[in-house]
Structure 1
Amino acid sequence: MADDKLRLIESLENRSRAEGFAAFGIAPAALAPVTARRLHDWLATGQHGEMIWMESRAEQRSSPHNLWPDVRSVIMLGTSYAPMRDPFALEKVPDHGRISVYAQGKDYHDVVKGALKRTARWLVENTGCEVKVFVDTAPVMEKPLAQAAGLGWQGKHTNLVSQDHGSWLFLGAIYTTLDLGSSTSGQDRCGSCRACQDICPTNAFPEPYRLDAKACISYLTIESKGPIPHKYRKAIGNHIYGCDDCLAVCPWNKFANAAATNKAFLPRAELAAPALADLLAMDDAGFRKIFSGSPIKRTGRNRMVRNSLIAAGNSDDATLIPSVMALLDDEDAIVRGSAVWALSQLDPAGFDREKAARLPTEPEAVVRSEWDAPRVS
């Protein structure tokens, strides 16, 4: 019987490799109690910000059994998206926006879930078991499960680090009613390194292994729906969707092989180095055209233009002033307010003229507060 189980696991791993997965392991269906305690402690501090779903389904998230009582093993799979180009390449190109590596290709939710479903279907057909598949959107603690399955360990930046793939793995889970045992758990190999902590532009790590999402550029540019807080705007630089800094600086990336990257995640030219002028000119139709098939489409046009305005304000590029000025009349109040800030950074004299003309008739408090905010350059 043990030999049959080993043969099944070997065949399952081979099947997963054929579907494009670069990492495979099996976790027990019960996470260590410390994992749930850390989750609840983190939520209690409010560091999850507007991500209310983290709080509302915390019990289901804290253990696989709480989400599905019949689960006996969790098959954890990783897909490489190791970049072929330096993620810092646009850091000194302020008139272009920086989009996180993971979002420059096809939507990973669709790609990984499709491969998971095909892998799970093979397992069902060969064993008759029951399965459920999850990619990111369900209350599943993928990173602790991936560590328990031996895919790597949760680094000080709170993301998974792999000895073979660095910090560049998309994770997916197959919950099954089969008892497949478990792989050897991954061991923390961060040592004394704190490169990911030191490079964070907004100091989003109050301590190693703990992230204050409210200060994280990825959260601010993707999840947060309101105005980006003033204290983070200059630090954001030209990040317009996510931030790879803490991932890209990880020393373990030297072992990542871009040749292992799933071809679906190769960057699209228009997302690898988008010009801010083009992004500022987008209407809803233009946004959908550019970001169709990308995870960015979920944020919507207004949030992307908001982010691009912050980047424009940091660019010191006077050629963007007309584009910023046009957005002072945008229908969306958050966009208008962000345009006010960008104008204050690029053209202080023009800001004063526009404030005198526009502030008396501006109906939205969020925009009026931008006109009246202390000017910090």
Structure 2
Amino acid sequence: MDIPHLIKDDFLPFQDTMTISEALGQLRQFDKRAGLIFRNKKYVGLIERKKLLKVNISSRDMKISKFIQKTSVVPHDADVTTAAAALYDADSDYLPVQEGKSIVGVVYALDLARAALEMEHFAKMDVANVRLVKPAKVERSEPVSTVIEIMRSERVDHVPVFDNGALYGIISFRDLVRKYFNWSKRRDTSAKFNSAMRSRGASVDVTSLGGLPVENFSTNDGLVKIKKGQNVGTAVALLTKHNIRNLLVVEGSQYLGLLTVRNILRVIGTSAATEAYSVRYVGLRKVSLTDHQRMAMDRIVNTNAAKLERKVKDHFTLTVHLRTLRRKGTRQEYHVGLKVNVNGQFISSEKTDWDLEKALNKCFNSLKAVR
């Protein structure tokens, strides 16, 4: 089950010279949780609204380049399980999809979860068998600054709210963006406020409101819950219907934890991965690779190894041998050798190119030809 039909081109591209205010204004205007950052047309990472809780963003002039979240990219021909594993590792709502050297779109976490429902064993899995997130609890009367600290320290964007120990509501990063970072006493009915929120140049105005009670910001009515014993298919349907990323899991009146899209992706990403292969690099220390090259190499190797695993259906060892043949200034001509050992039977391929990614892809394509 490949991902081409899931690729969308509705991502927000940002140049790394943009300011935080400009980026957040566009994220709000288009109701996006994240944007892709480019430097001279080259993808360098993500910027996510929730990550900005970690820093003081009161200055309009701070550049987004200071807050780049480096991530891998998903190959356009990847399958759902490979893409899900990449999204889980990145802890992101979506990741860019690459074809050749170009970013051709993005793949969303919730779209992957819906596509994975075609796997019957996954769709029927009890939600209790998915790892639940259990962030620290807050009482409705506690200051909202407590929630911000929990989100920072525990790396979560939803926190349950209680009233004398009983589940009362939930507060999300989205609530904070709308109600805390841009506070208006008539925020939900003010035309001026909502117009400003949608403007491209909307800027951050962090007011000192940390002492206000959590209940002023949390969602307290119409909570979306799922019961222990219900299946993942039902959970994904609820997440899709309400366009949310977390569900409150309950057993009777007892709160058990949060079911997150990220941990659903973890199940998808490991459902077909039996760890039936190992990868070994030779010569890596002698070849000078940039962070981008190393990330691209790992992506190409792991994606192709996972595909090979599903075809071989047996344990194998993949050895990747790297050498520099010659240098011209800062450029290198790379020699890449691949050797696959399946129970003592060997398949190998060797290719050279001035572009490391091209050399790797040539090698794996050659392996496909001899299998």
| Range of TM-score over shorter length | under 0.3
TM-score scaled by length of structure 2: 0.24
Between Structure 1 and Structure 2, the one with more strand by share is 2
Calculate the TM-score normalised by the size of structure 1: 0.24
Highest relative contact order (Cα 8 Å, sep 6+), 1 or 2? Answer: 1
